[in-house]
Structure 1
Amino acid sequence: MFDHITTFTAPPCALDDLRAYLSDHRDALLDSAALLGDQPGVRLAQSVLDGFDTPGTPTRRTMRALDDLLDLLMLENVHDPDRIEAARFAMIDPANPIVEEVCLLADDLDDMLEAYRAVKNGGAATFVHEVAA
């Protein structure tokens, strides 16, 4: 009489942790995205933040945008002269303290995303938060 449909969602704890991280680091994510990606980077970061502000499991589009944001923060495409991050990255002084902050932000976001995906896929994950001294 009743259909039993099992739908898996990541345990709320992992998703809540990722949401909390994004919320707590909202300004830093937007600033870093602007630094490395100009207006397209800001739109990307805002899309991710808006997607995680929506209740429920993040959509595939939001998760793809999060992967793209992480690629931006991890400097995955700075070698491609046709991409805006190549020019933006070339203008940054490596001695600028913002460089370390962006690196820590990217590493922490990567760890949070990895932990979320591990729990979502049935594994255990831990996250160690590093703070710049």
Structure 2
Amino acid sequence: MLRKLPTKTLSVDPQLAAVRAHFDKHGSALCNAAGLIDGESGIARVLRLMSGLREASRLDRATRRRLVDLHRLLSLDPVVDAFEPDLSSWVLLDPASPEVEELCLLTDRLYDLLVEIGERDDERDALALALQAQDAA
């Protein structure tokens, strides 16, 4: 059984808080979905991500990259590198199965989380620019 992620922490990073809340709610389902697509490797990927979230004090670039990589896996985007996709370990899924419907919902929720993180970046950048302009005046 997965341990719950801390959602009430001293971190002031709202992005980290949003990601932790998302994985607190959907972490087990994300593990199952990644396992359905990529077997033990997919499960390990999500567990490493969740472990990193437990220890993090802010949402760093590497964690953001892992979130995007997880979204690509769930989206069935097979690009491993720019030259040669590796689909050898992926299972074939029946598009009409309930698992695929759940996979699509999880993928959409993860995409929404990535958009939310990006919007918070934009808000922070806009605030920083406004403060710079105010200081210059």
Q: TM-score, normalised to structure 2's length?
A: 0.69
Gaps of 5+ in 2: 1-11, 125-137
Which residue matches 1:94?
95
Q: Supply the distance in 2 between the matched residues of 1:119 and 1:21 (Cα, whole angstroms).
A: 15
Following superposition, the deviation at residue 16 of structure 1 comes to: 1.5
- Percent same amino acid among aligned pairs? 33
Superposed CA RMSD: 2.3
After the TM superposition, which residues 1-133 of structure 1 pair with which residues of structure 2 at under 5 Å, given as runs? 12-77=13-78, 82-84=86-88, 87-88=90-91, 91-122=92-123
Task: Give, as a single letter, the amino acid of the residue that structure 2 aligns with 1:17.
Answer: A
Following superposition, the deviation at residue 48 of structure 1 comes to: 1.4
Q: Supply the distance in 2 between the matched residues of 1:84 and 1:114 (Cα, whole angstroms).
A: 30
Aligned with 2:123: secondary structure?
A: coil
Q: Supply the distance in 2 between the matched residues of 1:62 and 1:14 (Cα, whole angstroms).
A: 11
Which residue matches 2:5?
none
Count of paired positions: 110
Q: Is the radius of gyration larger for structure 1 or structure 2?
A: 2
Determine if contact 2:74/2:107 at 8 Å carries over to the other structure: yes
Aligned with 1:82: secondary structure?
A: coil
Task: Give, as a single letter, the amino acid of the residue that structure 2 aligns with 1:48.
Answer: L
Aligned with 1:56: secondary structure?
A: coil
Determine if contact 2:13/2:57 at 8 Å carries over to the other structure: no
Determine if contact 1:14/1:116 at 8 Å carries over to the other structure: yes
Aligned with 2:76: secondary structure?
A: coil
Please state which structure has a larger fraction of its residues in helix. 2
Q: Supply the distance in 2 between the matched residues of 1:70 and 1:56 (Cα, whole angstroms).
A: 22
Aligned with 1:112: secondary structure?
A: helix
Which residue matches 1:4?
none
Gaps of 5+ in 1: 1-10, 124-133
Q: TM-score, normalised to structure 1's length?
A: 0.71
Following superposition, the deviation at residue 67 of structure 1 comes to: 1.1
Determine if contact 2:31/2:43 at 8 Å carries over to the other structure: yes
